[in-house]
Chain A
Amino acid sequence: MRKMYTRFICLVLCLLSLTNWTFGQNRTITGKITEESGAPLPGVSIVKKGTTIGTISDANGNYSIDAEFGSILLFTYVGYEPREVAIGAESVVNVPLTPSMQQLSEMVVTGYSIERKRDLLGAVSVADIEAIKDVSYPNVLQSMVGRLAGVNIDLAGIPGQGAKVKIRGIKTLGNNEPLYIIDGVPLQSFESVGTETGMAERVRQPTTLDLSWLNPSDIESLQVLKDAASASIYGSRASNGVVIITTRQAKGQMPTISFNARYSVEKVTDRPWVPTSEQAATLAWRSAVNQGINPNTVSQYFNYQWHYDSELGPGFQGLGEPVLDQINYVDWLDETDQLRISGHPQSVHGGSIAKGTDWQDIAYQTGKVQNYDIQFAQGYKNGGVRFSANYFDQEGVLLGNSFRRYSGRLNSSINFFNDRVTVGQNLAVSSGHRRWGLATGLGPSSILPPYTEDGRIAGPPPGFDRTDNPLGTVDNDKWDKNNNIKAFGNIYAEARLIKNLSFRSSLGIDYDNVSVRDIYPTFQRGIARNEVGELRETQLNNNNLTWSNTLNYNRLIEKHSFSIIGGTEYIENQMKSFYGFGRDFALNTDAYYQLDAAAGEKSSGGSAGGFKLFSYFAKANYTFNDKYLLAATIRRDGSSRFGRENRFAVFPAVSAGWRIRSEEFMSGLTWVSDLKIRGAWGQTGNQNILNDARFQLYRAVYAPPSVYLPWGSGCTQTFCDNAPTSYDISNVNGGNLPSGFLSTQTGNESLKWETTTEINAGIDFGLFDDRITGSFEVFKKTTDDILIQASQPGTFGDGNRQWTNGASMETRGYEFTLGYASETTGDLSYTVSVVGAHVRDKITSLPKDLYGRFPGNVEQNIVGQSSRALFGFVVKGILQNQSEVDAAPAYPGIRVGRFNYEDLNGDNLINAVDQKYQGVNGTPDLEYGINGMVRFKGFDLGLQFAGMAGRKVSAYFWQGGSQREVLDAWTTANTDTYVPALGFGGGVSTQGGGNSFQFRNGSFFNFRQLSLGYNLSRAMLSKINWVSNLRVYFNMDNIFFLYDKSGPDSFPAEPWLLTQQGATPGAGADQSGRGQGNFETRYPRPLTSSIGVNITF
Chain B
Amino acid sequence: MKISNYKKPMVFLAFVCLLPFNCTDSVLDVNPQGVVTDADLNSPENVEKLVIAAYAAQANDFWQAPFQDMWPWGSVGGGDAYKGGGGIGDQLWIHWLEVKALNAPVGNPGNEVTYKYIYAAIGRINEALERLNALTDEQLPTRRQRIAEMNFLRANTYFKLKVLFKHIVYIDETIPKEKYVEISNRELTDQEGWNWIINEFRKAVAVLPDTQEDAGRPTKSAAQLFLAKTLVYKAYVQNDSHEVVSITASELNEAISLFETVDAAGIYELWPDYSYNFECAHEGGPESVWAIMRSLNDGTADGRINYGNSLNSPVSAGYGCCGFFQPSTNLANAFKTDANGHPLVTNYNEAPIINSNVDVEANNMDPRISHTVGLLGMPWKYDPAIIVNATFPRVPAQYGTNMGMKDQELPTNSCWRQSAAFYGSGRNTDVMRYADALLYWAEALVETTPSRFQEALPIINRIRERASNSTSRLVKGDGSPSGKYVIGLYAPSDFATQEQARQAVRFERRLEMAMESFPGRHFDLVRWGIAEQTLNEYYAVEKNRRSYLVEGHYTQSRDEYQPIPQIEITISQGVLIQNPGY
A and B from one assembly? yes
Q: Which residues of A contact B (CB under 8 A)?
A: 1, 3, 7, 10-11, 13-14, 17-18, 20-24, 196, 288, 291-294, 296-300, 337-338, 462-463, 465-466, 495, 497-498, 501, 503, 505, 520, 527-532, 549, 551, 566-568, 581, 583, 601, 603, 606-614, 616, 638-640, 644, 647, 691-692, 695-700, 702-711, 717, 720, 723-744, 746, 791-799, 848-849, 851-852, 892-893, 959, 984-985, 987, 991-993, 1070-1074
Chain B residue at smallest Cβ distance from A613: B28
Decide: B297 and A733 in contact? CB cutoff 8 A: yes
User: Contacts A23-B3, A739-B49 known; A698 to B41 CB distance under 8 Å?
Assistant: yes
Chain B contact residues, CB within 8 Å of chain A: 1, 3, 6-7, 9-11, 13-14, 16-18, 20-23, 25, 27-38, 40-41, 46, 49-60, 62-64, 86-89, 92-93, 102-103, 105, 107-109, 112-113, 115-117, 119-124, 126-127, 169, 171, 177, 180-181, 183, 213-217, 283-284, 293-304, 307, 315-316, 320-322, 390-398, 415, 418-421, 426, 428, 546-548, 550, 565-568, 570-573
13 contacts between A and B (CB under 8 A): A10-B13, A296-B397, A298-B397, A462-B390, A503-B17, A611-B30, A699-B35, A703-B300, A706-B301, A737-B300, A740-B49, A984-B88, A1070-B109
Apart from A465-B86, A532-B418, A848-B573, list 17 A-B contacts with CB within 8 A.
A497-B10, A503-B14, A520-B420, A529-B320, A697-B37, A706-B420, A709-B63, A728-B298, A731-B295, A733-B297, A739-B52, A739-B56, A743-B123, A791-B571, A794-B119, A794-B565, A795-B171
Q: Is the CB of B547 within 8 A of A297?
A: yes
Cross-chain contact of B86 among A466, A638, A728 (Cβ < 8 A): A466
Q: How far is the CB of B33 from chain A (nearest CB, A)?
A: 5
Task: Verify B214–A741 contact, CB threshold 8 A.
Answer: no
Interface pair B87/A985, CB less than 8 Å apart: yes
Chain A's nearest CB lies how many Å from the CB of B367?
29
Q: A14-B14, A551-B14 are in contact. Are A725 and B52 (CB under 8 A)?
A: yes
> Given A462-B391, A717-B109, A725-B53: A734 and B295 within 8 A (CB)?
yes
User: Known interface pairs A707-B307, A733-B298, A739-B49. Does A498 touch B7 (Cβ–Cβ under 8 Å)?
Assistant: yes
In angstroms, Cα B9 to Cα A495, docked, is 13
Residues B123 and A796 in contact, CB atoms below 8 Å apart: yes
Is the Cβ of B298 less than 8 Å from the Cβ of A730?
no
> Residues of B contacting A959 with CB < 8 Å?
89
Cβ–Cβ < 8 Å partners of B23 in chain A: 3, 614, 638
Evaluate contact between B14 and A892: CB separation under 8 angstroms. no
CB distance from A317 to the nearest CB of B (A): 11
CB neighbours (8 Å) of B180 from chain A are: 792-793, 795-796
Q: Is the CB of B32 within 8 A of A463?
A: no
Q: Are A10 and B17 in contact (CB under 8 A)?
A: yes
In the complex, which of the residues B16, B102, B117, B567 contacts A10, with contact meaning CB atoms closer than 8 Å? B16
Q: By DSSP majority rule, is chain A's interface helix, strand, loop, or mixed?
A: loop
> Nearest chain-A residue to B391 (Cβ)?
A462
Would A702 and B300 count as touching, CB distance under 8 A? yes
CB <8 Å contact, A21 and B1: yes
- Once the chains bind, are A1073 and B120 in contact (CB under 8 Å)? no
- Cβ contact within 8 Å between B183 and A498: no
Query: Which residues on the B side are within 8 Å of A987 (C-beta)?
Result: 89
**In contact, B103 and A893 (Cβ under 8 angstroms):** yes
Q: How far is the CA of A1 from the CA of B122 in the complex (A)?
A: 44
Q: Are B18 and A737 in contact (CB under 8 A)?
A: no
- Output the least CB separation between B70 and chain A (Å): 17
Within the complex, the shortest CB–CB distance from B237 to chain A, in Å, comes to: 26
B216 interface neighbour in A7, A288, A731, A993, Cβ under 8 Å: A731
Contacting pair A741 B25 (CB below 8 A): no
How far apart are the CA atoms of A851 and B569 in the complex, in Å? Answer: 11
Contact B30 A640 (CB under 8 A): yes
Closest A residue to B400 by beta carbon equals A297
A921, chain B: closest CB distance, angstroms: 19
Closest CB in chain A relative to B340 CB, distance in Å: 37
Q: B residues within 8 A CB of A337?
A: 391
Contact present for B177 and A746 (CB under 8 Å): yes
Smallest CB separation, A1067 vs chain B (Å): 11
Contact residues in B for A851 (Cβ distance below 8 Å) = 570
Chain A positions within 8 Å of B35 at CB level: 692, 695, 697-699, 744
A730 touches B28 (CB 8 A): no
Judging by beta carbons under 8 Å apart, are B14 and A729 in contact?
no
Report whether B299 and A703 are in contact in the complex, using a CB–CB cutoff of 8 Å: yes
Chain B residue, CB-CB nearest to A731 = B215
A644 touches B60 (CB 8 A): no
With A3-B27, A692-B32: A567-B1 Cβ-Cβ less than 8 Å: no
Nearest B residue to A746, CB-CB: B177
Query: Which of chain B's residues have a CB closer than 8 A to the CB of A742?
Result: 53, 57, 124
Q: Is the CB of A702 within 8 A of B299?
A: yes
Given A7-B17, A731-B215, answer yes or no on A699-B36 (Cβ-Cβ < 8 Å). yes
Known contacts A497-B7, A793-B180; decide if A527 and B17 are in contact (CB<8 Å): no
Q: Are A607 and B33 in contact (CB under 8 A)?
A: yes
A726, B315: Cβ atoms closer than 8 Å: no
Which residues of B are found within 8 Å of A13, using beta-carbon distances?
Answer: 13
Decide: A798 and B124 in contact? CB cutoff 8 A: yes
Q: Assuming A708-B60, A731-B284, A737-B298, is B395 touching A300 (CB within 8 A)?
A: yes
